[in-house]
C-alpha cells in the first residue's frame, strides 16, 4: 500500500488571491462528480460568501490517450476512435477525420456521399443541440424541456441506427465516402423529422424564451465581448452569441456546404441567453440545410472507386481476383499516406473542430492532433464566471456546452 | 482561404522556409523568432489562434520536435500555419500567451504531452495527466502500454503483476 502524502498546494498558490491564503475566502471543490458539470469536470472555486472570486478548472479525468492510440492503428482502424472524442457529435468527428485523410492522400468523394454526409452531420447537430438544450435548461430548473428534447433526439438516433447499425458510435463516414448507402426508409424518416421539428422547436421556445424565471437566470450572466471571445479562441455558438459571425461552413465550405442556402445566426449580448438564442436558431437553420440537401440528393455511388484506398464492394470479392487482393491488402496492411501534414477544420455543434494529421509514408498516422472546440470554450470559464454567484456558474457551464470527451480526448 | 500573401511577407521578414503540401502553405521559422512572428501575425489581422501542437521526430535530436501553430483571420478569410523546430535537449520556446491568451492551455497541453518548456508562461502545470505523472506520453519513446491477456492457465501468474489494489 502506497503512503498517502499530504497534498502540497504551494505549486498552486499563484492561482488564488492573497485573501485565500489568509483564510478569508473559501476554497470549494465542485466536481468531478457533480450533476451540473456535464461530465467529469472539476472546478476549484474561490468563494467570498456565494460570490465566485476565482474559478480554476481541472480537466483530464476523461483523458483516454486517443491521440497516442491512433498513432498505433492504420488510417481506417483509427477512425473508430474518433467517435469516442465528442460523444454528442460522433458523425461530425468521423467527418473531419475522413476529410483530413482524403486531403492527405488526395482522394475524391462522390457527390451523393457528400450530400448524405451533410444531412447526417446536420441531423447530428440537431441531436447535439437537443441534448444541450435539455441539460442546460435542467441546470436552471426547467425539468420538462429535458424530457421533450430527449424524445426528439431519439428520432434522430433511430435514423443513425438505421444507416449505420449504431445509435451513437456510428463510424458511418469512411475515407472516400460512406460505409454503405442509406436504407430505403431513410428519406421518409428524415422527412418526418423535418415535419415535426419546427413545431417542436416552437414548443421549446414557448417554454423558455419568454419565461421570466429563465430570463432571470440567463440574461446578463457570463458576458463576454466579441473581441475578447476571439482573443480567447472561442468558436461556435459562444462566439456567435458575442456578435461575431464566424462559421466554418461559410468560412471554408467543405462537403458541398456552399450549395446550400442558410444563415449564420448571431446575437450581440454575449451572455448565457444570447448563446441560448443562437443555438435555437441554429437548429432551424440545420433543418433548412437538411431539407435542401434531401430535395436534391443526387443518385450514384457513395464510395470512391479508387480501390487503393477504399475497399471494393463485397459482391466483387467473390468474382474478381483484383478486388480480393485489394480487400486483403487494405485490411491487413492498410494504405500508405505520403509524408506531409494537413490541418482540416469543420463546424461541429460546439465550434471549430480541427484535426492535424501527419503522415510518414506508412499506413499509420505519424501524428494526429485534435483541436477540439470544448477545450477553448472551457478555458474561458474563469473569465466568464468572475464575480458571479455559484448558481450562475451552473448556468454558464451549461451555456458553453462542453463535452468532456471532447476536452480531455 | 489562402494565407499566401501573408506568408510571403513573413517569409522575407523572418527568413523562413516555406513548406507546401496538399495546398496548405506553412512557414518554418527559428524558435528565437517565435514571439516576434506571433506579434507580427496578430498585427496582420489574424485575430484567432486556432491550435498549437507538436510532433516528435525521435530519434532525430536536432531538431527533435516541431511545434505547429495554426492562425485564423476572419477579416481576411485566411488561415496560416507556422512550424518551429525545437531541439531534443532542453526543449524550450517562448510563450505566446501574451499575444494570444488562449495559448495558455494549449501550451500547457504541449508541455504535458511532450515536455517542451514554454519560457515566461504564467501557469505551466500538467493539464491532462495527473500532477505527479512521470514522462510525457506523446513522445515517440514513450511506450503505448498494454494489458496482458489473462487465461485460466496463467491467471494467477499474471494476477501477481496486475496493477490494482490488493488487500
- Residues within 8 A of A (CB atoms), B 146-165 only: none
Q: Quote ipTM for the complex.
A: 0.86
Stretch B163-167: mean pLDDT: 65
CA distance to partner chain A, nearest, from residue B63 (Å): 16
The answer to whether residue A6 scores a pLDDT higher than 70 is no
Task: Name chain A contacts of B48, Cβ cutoff 8 Å.
Answer: 230-231, 233
Judged by a CB distance cut-off of 8 A, whether residue A78 touches chain B is no
Angle at the Cα of A87 from the Cα atoms of A291 and A63, rounded to 5 degrees: 155
Taking only the tens place, the pLDDT of each residue in A355-409 is: 999 999 889 999 999 999 999 999 999 999 888 898 888 889 888 888 888 888 8
The answer to whether residue B61 scores a pLDDT higher than 60 is yes
Domains contained in chain A, number? 2
Stretch B85-100: mean pLDDT: 90
pLDDT confidence of A156, banded at 50, 70, 90? very high
Interface contact A60-B129, CB threshold 8 A: yes
User: Collapsing DSSP states into helix, strand and coil, what is residue B148?
Assistant: coil
Q: Are residues A133 and A229 in the same domain?
A: yes
Residue A165 lies in a domain: yes
Comparing CB atoms, the residue among A68, A252, A371 nearest residue B144 is: A68
The answer to whether residue B100 scores a pLDDT higher than 70 is yes
Q: Tell me which of A197 and B134 has the higher pLDDT.
A: A197
Q: Are residues A116 and A196 in the same domain?
A: yes
Taking only the tens place, the pLDDT of each residue in A60-100 is: 888 888 999 999 899 999 999 999 888 889 999 999 999 99
Taking only the tens place, the pLDDT of each residue in B4-42 is: 778 877 887 877 788 878 778 788 888 888 898 899 888
Contact A375, A408 (CB under 8 A): no
Contact A400, A377 (CB under 8 A): yes
Q: Rounded CA gap, B45 and A85, in Å? A: 32
Instruction: Give me the pLDDT at residue A1, please.
Output: 46
User: Collapsing DSSP states into helix, strand and coil, what is residue A297?
Assistant: coil
pLDDT confidence of B166, banded at 50, 70, 90? low
Stretch A152-161: mean pLDDT: 92
User: Collapsing DSSP states into helix, strand and coil, what is residue A48?
Assistant: strand
The answer to whether residue B119 scores a pLDDT higher than 60 is yes
Which structural domain, as residue segments, surrounds residue A20? 10-58
Residue A332 lies in a domain: no
Q: Are residues A387 and A368 in the same domain?
A: yes
Task: Name chain A contacts of B53, Cβ cutoff 8 Å.
Answer: 356, 367, 369, 371
Interface contact B102-A376, CB threshold 8 A: yes
Contact B85, B66 (CB under 8 A): yes
Q: Are residues A50 and A73 in the same domain?
A: no
- Residues within 8 A of B (CB atoms), A 275-334 only: none
Domain B4-139 has CATH 1.10.240.10: no
Instruction: Give me the pLDDT at residue A100, please.
Output: 93
Mean pLDDT over all residues of chain A? 89
The answer to whether residue A35 scores a pLDDT higher than 80 is no
Residue A131 lies in a domain: yes
Task: Name chain A contacts of B104, Cβ cutoff 8 Å.
Answer: 379
- Please give the residue of chain A at the shortest CA–CA distance from B82: A343
Lowest mean pLDDT, pick from A212-221, A386-395, A398-407, B146-155? B146-155
The answer to whether residue A137 scores a pLDDT higher than 80 is yes
The cell 499516406 sits on which residue?
A: A337
Amino acid at each position: 500500500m502506497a503512503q498517502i502524502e499530504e497534498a502540497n498546494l504551494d505549486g498552486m498558490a499563484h492561482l488564488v488571491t492573497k485573501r485565500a491564503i489568509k483564510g478569508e475566502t473559501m476554497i470549494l471543490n465542485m466536481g468531478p462528480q457533480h450533476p451540473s458539470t456535464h461530465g467529469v469536470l472539476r472546478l476549484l472555486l474561490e468563494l467570498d460568501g456565494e460570490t465566485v472570486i476565482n474559478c480554476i478548472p481541472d480537466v483530464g479525468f476523461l483523458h483516454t490517450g486517443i491521440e497516442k492510440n491512433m498513432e498505433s492503428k492504420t488510417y481506417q482502424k483509427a477512425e473508430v476512435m474518433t467517435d469516442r472524442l465528442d460523444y454528442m457529435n460522433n458523425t461530425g468527428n468521423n467527418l473531419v477525420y475522413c476529410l483530413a485523410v482524403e486531403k492527405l492522400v488526395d482522394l475524391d468523394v462522390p457527390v451523393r456521399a457528400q450530400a448524405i454526409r451533410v444531412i447526417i452531420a446536420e441531423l447530428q447537430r440537431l441531436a447535439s443541440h437537443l441534448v444541450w438544450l435539455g441539460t442546460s435548461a435542467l441546470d436552471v430548473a426547467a425539468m420538462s424541456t429535458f424530457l421533450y428534447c430527449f424524445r426528439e433526439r431519439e428520432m434522430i438516433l433511430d435514423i443513425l441506427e438505421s444507416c449505420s447499425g449504431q445509435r451513437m458510435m456510428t463510424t458511418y463516414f469512411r475515407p472516400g465516402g460512406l460505409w454503405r448507402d442509406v436504407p430505403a426508409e431513410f428519406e421518409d424518416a428524415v422527412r418526418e423529422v423535418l415535419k415535426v421539428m419546427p413545431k417542436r422547436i416552437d414548443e421549446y421556445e414557448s417554454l423558455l424564451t419568454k419565461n421570466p424565471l429563465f430570463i432571470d437566470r440567463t440574461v446578463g450572466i457570463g458576458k463576454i465581448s466579441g473581441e475578447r471571445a476571439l482573443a480567447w479562441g472561442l468558436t461556435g455558438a459562444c462566439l456567435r452569441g458575442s456578435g461575431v459571425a464566424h462559421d466554418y461552413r461559410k468560412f471554408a465550405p467543405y462537403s458541398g456546404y456552399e450549395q446550400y442556402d442558410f444563415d449564420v445566426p448571431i446575437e450581440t449580448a454575449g451572455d448565457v441567453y444570447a448563446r441560448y438564442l443562437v443555438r435555437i436558431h441554429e437548429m432551424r437553420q440545420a433543418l433548412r440545410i437538411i431539407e435542401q440537401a434531401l430535395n436534391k440528393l443526387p443518385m450514384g455511388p457513395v464510395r470512391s472507386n479508387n480501390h487503393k484506398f477504399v475497399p471494393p464492394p463485397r459482391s466483387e470479392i467473390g468474382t474478381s481476383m483484383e478486388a480480393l487482393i485489394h480487400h486483403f491488402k487494405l485490411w491487413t496492411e492498410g494504405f500508405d499516406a505520403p509524408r506531409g501534414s494537413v490541418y482540416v477544420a469543420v463546424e461541429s455543434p460546439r465550434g471549430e473542430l480541427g484535426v492535424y494529421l501527419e503522415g510518414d509514408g506508412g499506413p499509420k498516422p505519424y501524428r494526429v492532433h485534435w483541436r477540439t472546440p470544448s477545450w477553448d470554450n472551457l478555458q474561458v470559464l474563469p473569465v466568464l464566471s468572475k464575480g458571479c454567484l455559484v448558481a450562475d456558474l451552473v448556468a454558464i457551464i451549461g451555456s458553453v456546452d462542453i463535452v468532456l470527451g471532447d476536452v480531455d480526448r | 482561404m489562402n494565407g499566401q500573401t501573408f506568408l510571403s511577407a513573413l517569409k522575407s521578414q523572418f527568413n523562413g522556409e516555406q513548406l507546401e503540401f496538399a495546398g496548405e502553405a506553412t512557414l518554418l521559422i527559428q524558435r528565437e523568432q517565435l514571439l516576434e512572428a506571433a506579434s507580427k501575425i496578430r498585427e496582420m489581422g489574424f485575430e484567432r489562434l486556432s491550435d498549437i501542437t507538436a510532433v516528435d521526430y525521435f530519434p532525430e535530436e536536432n531538431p527533435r520536435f516541431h511545434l505547429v501553430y495554426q492562425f485564423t483571420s476572419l477579416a481576411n478569410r485566411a488561415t496560416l500555419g507556422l512550424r518551429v523546430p525545437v531541439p531534443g535537449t532542453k526543449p524550450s520556446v517562448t510563450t505566446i500567451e501574451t499575444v494570444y491568451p488562449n495559448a495558455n492551455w494549449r501550451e500547457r497541453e504541449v508541455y504535458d504531452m511532450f515536455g517542451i518548456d514554454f519560457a515566461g508562461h504564467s501557469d505551466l502545470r500538467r493539464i491532462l495527466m495527473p500532477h505527479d505523472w512521470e514522462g510525457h506520453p506523446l513522445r515517440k519513446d514513450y511506450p503505448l502500454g498494454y494489458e496482458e491477456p489473462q487465461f485460466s492457465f496463467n491467471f494467477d501468474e499474471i494476477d501477481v503483476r496486475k496493477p490494482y489494489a490488493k488487500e
